[in-house]
Chain A
Amino acid sequence: MMNSVIKETDNQPMLEVKQITRRFGGLVAVNEVSFDVHNQEIFGLIGPNGAGKTTLFNLITGLIEPSSGQIFAQAQLISHLKPHQIAAKGIARTFQNIRLFGELSALENVIVGRHLHTKSNFVTGILGLPQANQAEKQAKQKAKELIELVGLGDRLLEKAKNLSYGDQRRLEIARALALEPSILLLDEPAAGMNPNEKQVLSTFIRDLRSQFNLTIILIEHHVPLVMGLCDRIAVLNFGKLIALGQPEIVRNDPAVIEAYLGVD
């Protein structure tokens, strides 16, 4: 596989999750989970409903704090940082239940995603100083390019809430890419898509990786998609990591089969 070559040349993991645990009262949503994600890997996170996948995403992006354990991004400890600081470290995400800025246009949504890369503040922006104006223009230009990349070029000025479900998912990806992340987290990007669209999405995600040198972690329920797309897969069940490895290994793992199919 192409990716194993990259792994050998670059040993430093992009993301290290170490013994991470999150309790909600008596419920252990994520239980001592550890794994590494390598540079430019497409890493799948699967598991039955309530296995703790989205909680793990929320832990990585700082939306919730871990009860114990640590997370490192490119060797820097990030598990104590706030979400906006983690975003500044180059980690962007989409949400399972789409969280676009509904009243803003598609273009404005992605411009908001350019926040960290736009050199304009209250004073320079209000006064319209050349440097700030230039930065605002660049943000708009870059946002347009990203929207065209996800195929919404003709819906630039449409309010996000008026877009179709599939278009909203694509817009969320464009908004996340606007951060110029090195790690992109996709929470069920194929939800609600038909098999044909899923195939297109699969190719699209692979293209994203090579175009932007991205490391991608994705949560997905559709097993064939995950198996075909991911370099490695982690399987969660009741908050615990029960399997980790290449798709063909994970697929035949007895623990995984038990979690998905149940056992008498």
Chain B
Amino acid sequence: MVNLFNDYAPLIISMILGALLGISLYLPLMTGQLSLASPGFYAVGGYVAAIFSTKIFPTSGLYPWYLLLLEMMVAALISTLLGLVVGIPVLRLRGIYLAIATIAFVEVLRIFSLNLEITGGAVGIFGIPQPFNNTLEYLWVVLPLLIISSIILYRLENIRVGKAFIAIREDELAAEAMGINPTHYKVLAFTLGAILAGVSGVIAAHFLNTWNARQGTFDASIIYLTSVLIGGTRTFVGPILGGMMFTALPEILRSLANIPNLPLWLVGFFKDGRLIIFGVLIVIGTLFFPQGLVTPDLFNNFSKLMRIGLNKVRLKKI
């Protein structure tokens, strides 16, 4: 069992990171804003970690945990500031225009990181030190982060702020007539998503050992958009499940490609065709599951079934 966990540790950690990025995309979506900026903040977080651990506090051996926490805090701070600076003007746009503007933001960051010296140019930054003895121990940071985000999102659905988010998603004009300041809540949701993406980036940089301009690109935006759309856009469980599923999918495809005696084109497709598959899934998903796989009704039905089941059990006992 322990061995199995160790073998699959990289996959488990990536899946949780995927879930975190799914959530960071879901937050602005709660207010109805389709923002694809998360990978940009994720990239920024990664560079914060890379620069801190290789240039500012270079260490030999295990990277101290408190510096990891410091990096996470710095990344959160930078993401907040950047989130506000980008969010306030960009969130005046709606729908597809907002999506395009956020894609542009991600591209701008990518070009910067390709050309700046501090980010290592096209080569990126190598040899980011490990804070843990083995990969599985990354759970110590990603799991609490996932749990905290889940609790926040769960609470959010039941409090005034979350209700304002959803009201804006449902009908911005009506929400405004109820005294809700849409700009305020859109920027809040966008910035919260940015913080989560930035902090995830810090962990990902250590986890991947290297960071370069290929992290957090437009491709990544599409992958996490797919995971949120397919997972479900109406409850926070959707993006978590979607993020995990779609992080695991390329790995599954890769193992499929290793099956012997497959025709060459199929092997090639399994190895490089994941963006095609994501594209097809977006189309199929939006056609047949417009609210994603995990919908609020599914939750309600599930709890109803549970109740019926429990009653039956009780009846049998009597």
Contacts and interface: CB of A to CB of B under 8 A. Distances in A.
Contacts of B176: 63, 82-84, 87
Contacts of A122: 161, 188
Interface stretch (B124-132, B133-141, B163-171, B220-228): B163-171
Interface stretch (B100-108, B177-185, B210-218, B308-316): B177-185
Nearest to A161: B170
Contacts of B161: 120-122, 125-126
Interface residues of B, number: 27
Contact of B155 (A82, A87, A92, A125): A125
A118 B179 CA distance: 11
Interface string A129-148: 00010011001000000000
Nearest to A136: B159
B173 A63 contact: yes
Nearest to B153: A126
Nearest to A185: B177
A175 B180 CA distance: 13
Contacts of A135: 160
Contacts of A28: none
Interface stretch (A6-14, A39-47, A108-116): A108-116
Interface string A2-38: 0000000000000000000000000000000000000
Contacts of B171: 99-102
Nearest to B152: A126
Chain B contact residues, majority secondary structure: helix
Nearest to B174: A99
A118 B158 CA distance: 13
B163 A112 contact: yes
B170 A103 contact: yes
B160 A101 contact: no
Nearest to B291: A103
Nearest to A98: B174
B122 interface: no
Contacts of A126: 152, 155-156, 159, 161
Contacts of A178: 178
Contacts of A115: 160, 163-164, 167, 178-180
Contact of B170 (A63, A102, A118): A102
A5 B173 CA distance: 37
Contact of A104 (B155, B167, B173, B188): B167
Interface in B168-207: 170-171, 173-182, 188
Contact of B160 (A104, A139, A175): A139
A114 B171 CA distance: 16
A93 interface: yes
A128 interface: yes
B84 to A, nearest CB: 14
Interface in A174-212: 175, 178-179
Contacts of B155: 125-126, 128
A88 interface: yes
Interface string B273-302: 000000000000000000000001000000
Contacts of A114: 160
Contact of B178 (A87, A121, A128): A87
Nearest to B188: A122
Contacts of A136: 158-160
A262 B179 CA distance: 41
A115 B181 CA distance: 10
* Most chain B beta carbons < 10 A, residue from A61, A84, A135: A84
Contacts of A112: 163-164, 167, 175, 178, 180
Contacts of A121: 160-161
A118 B164 CA distance: 11
A72 interface: no
A87 B179 contact: yes
Contacts of B163: 104, 108, 111-112, 115
Contacts of B162: 125
B155 to A, nearest CB: 5
14 contacts: A63-B176, A84-B180, A87-B176, A93-B177, A99-B173, A100-B171, A100-B174, A102-B171, A103-B234, A116-B179, A120-B159, A120-B160, A122-B188, A136-B158
Given A128-B155, A136-B158, 15 more contacts: A82-B176, A82-B181, A92-B178, A100-B171, A101-B170, A101-B171, A112-B175, A115-B160, A115-B163, A115-B180, A120-B159, A122-B188, A125-B160, A126-B159, A179-B178
**8 pairs of A and B residues whose beta carbons are closest in the complex:** A125-B159, A87-B179, A101-B170, A99-B174, A116-B179, A83-B176, A112-B167, A120-B160
Interface of B: 152, 155-156, 158-164, 166-167, 170-171, 173-182, 188, 234, 296
